[in-house]
Amino acid sequence: MTAEINKTKKRVIAYIDGFNLYHSLHNLGRPHLKWVNLWTLLDSITRGDEKLDAVKYFSAYATWKPKAYFHHRQYVNALEYFGVTTIMGNFKGKPRECTKCKHQWDEHEEKETDVNLALRILCDAVDDSFDRAIIVSADSDLLPIVKEIKSRFPQKEIFIATPPKRHEIARDLCSYGGNMNLTPGRIERHLLPDRIKLDEIRLVIKPPQYKKKKSVS
């Protein structure tokens, strides 16, 4: 009986712009929210006649920052444990030079994430893998792919879930379908456990900086 019910439900795939969400949460000054369980968060905004089939997380590792790189890998391991598919891009170094003192350094620029996300949505639409796509981002660079999907597949729904306090800057993106702003309160209800035992050997532990600060009365 359950299998028959699931067949009638609309299929949902969520696509997460990892850095857009991360920087939004960072700007809130509430680092514990970065330890969010993306699967349960996105499942919480599906409708009663829908089934969340996949959550796809797009980001890249800052490999030149050992501590951040380690914590990011831990987070990715935790997400994958809960069923999230992770698609990682790259950072590329750009040589820079001070015009006055001639000091040289490398500036790192994230590449591939937007392209990977747009390409995966398009491929999933062509393969008829979803009825509704939920995109977590406020990045206007995704506007062309949203327009293309709406043009080629008008029967498919695009829903924009903007990261906290980024709804206003995503008006153009939100104009192409349903939308909502992910509030800090909703995110707080969907945090990962402090400790996750991946298998008999591997253990993921929440980084100390992601622990919730106690309020001072």
Q: Structurally, how many domains does the chain consist of? A: 1
- Tens-digit pLDDT profile for residues 77-133: 999 999 999 999 875 656 555 666 656 545 546 667 888 999 999 999 999 999 999
Is residue 130 within 8 A of residue 157, CB to CB? The reply is no
Domain-located, residue 124: yes
pLDDT value at 216 more than 50: no
- Domain boundaries, position 190: 7-210
Q: Spell out the residues 6+ positions from residue 130 whose beta carbon is closer than 8 angstroms to its own.
A: 11, 12, 13, 53, 124, 156
Domain-located, residue 2: no
Domain of 135, CATH number, reads 3.40.50.1010
Task: Give me 183's structure tokens.
Answer: 């509030």
Confidence of residue 1 (pLDDT cuts 50, 70, 90): very low
Neighbours of 34 (CB within 10 A): 21
Q: Give the whole-angstrom CA distance, residue 34 versus residue 22.
A: 7
Confidence of residue 205 (pLDDT cuts 50, 70, 90): very high
Domain-located, residue 23: yes
Domain-located, residue 73: yes
- Tens-digit pLDDT profile for residues 32-72: 999 999 999 999 999 999 999 999 999 999 888 899 899 99
Domain-located, residue 173: yes
**Length of the chain measured in residues:** 217
Q: Give the whole-angstrom CA distance, residue 138 versus residue 170.
A: 5
Domain-located, residue 216: no
Q: pTM above 0.85?
A: yes
- The residue type found at 68 is A
Domain-located, residue 217: no
Query: CA dist 140 to 16, 43, 60, 89, 93, Å?
Result: 14, 24, 19, 19, 24
- The residue type found at 124 is D
Provide the pLDDT for residue 3: 52
Domain-located, residue 202: yes
